[in-house]
Amino acid sequence: MNLSFENKVALVTGAASGMGLAAAQAFAAEGAAVALADVNETAARSAAEQLVAAGHKAIAIRCDVSDEAQVKAMVEQTVSTFGRLDAAFNNAGVQSPIAELADASGEEFDRVNGINLRGVFNCMKYELIQMRKQASGAIVNNSSLGGLVGVPGRAMYHAARRNRTYEKRCSRVRRERHSDQCGMPWDHRYSHGLGDANR
């Protein structure tokens, strides 16, 4: 199997740390130009600079994926810098505080769903617009076992992850008419220090 991404362009959200950073580094190591997007601009910029210093092509973009205008600008900046978008890894996400549903706030519900669910919608929307123009591309949405099973005190998180799973499945049904590929890895996020930096 040829895993080379030579002359390809990859976009990674939540790229300042953790799995997002590891993915960005892996894309770069295989020859891709990489856009590292994260709400933590300082950390994303530092990671991008390290990749550039190692001889790779990379840029950092500050982006809160819950903000549709920022996501649109993120994709546009990626394409204006590198000319296209071949792969996207939608990894940004946050955890919710442990709380019984009766004690949870509407504001926290909106925050978690805004990033974990609406964020994926925002990213896929503009990534697919670009990939449709190219008639090619691949998208991977990072999800969680939290989309399949639940634990006490995490209702908001599990609800967002469950819907994220089906958002991707529904998109895949439509996108099979085109030449891009859709996928979703299952990952147990609890052990990865998921927080606001990966947003």
Residue 198 in this model has a pLDDT that exceeds 50: no
65-118 confidence digits (pLDDT tens):
999 999 999 999 999 999 999 999 999 987 666 656 676 777 887 888 888 889
What is the overall mean pLDDT for the chain?
Answer: 78
Instruction: Find the mean pLDDT for residues 121-147.
Output: 85
Q: What is the pLDDT of residue 111?
A: 85
Q: What is the pLDDT of residue 144?
A: 58
Angle at 65 between CA 165 and CA 107, to 5 degrees: 85
Residue 155 in this model has a pLDDT that exceeds 90: no
Residue pair 141/124 in contact (Cβ under 8 Å)? The answer is: yes
Query: String of b and e for 111-136 (b: at least 16 CB within 10 Å)?
Result: bbbbbbbbbbbbbbebbbebbeeeee
Weakest mean pLDDT among 13-17, 20-24, 138-142, 156-160: 156-160
1 class by beta-carbon count within 10 Å (0-12 exposed, 13-18 middle, 19+ buried): exposed
Residues carrying an active site annotation: 157
Instruction: Find the mean pLDDT for residues 132-155.
Output: 69
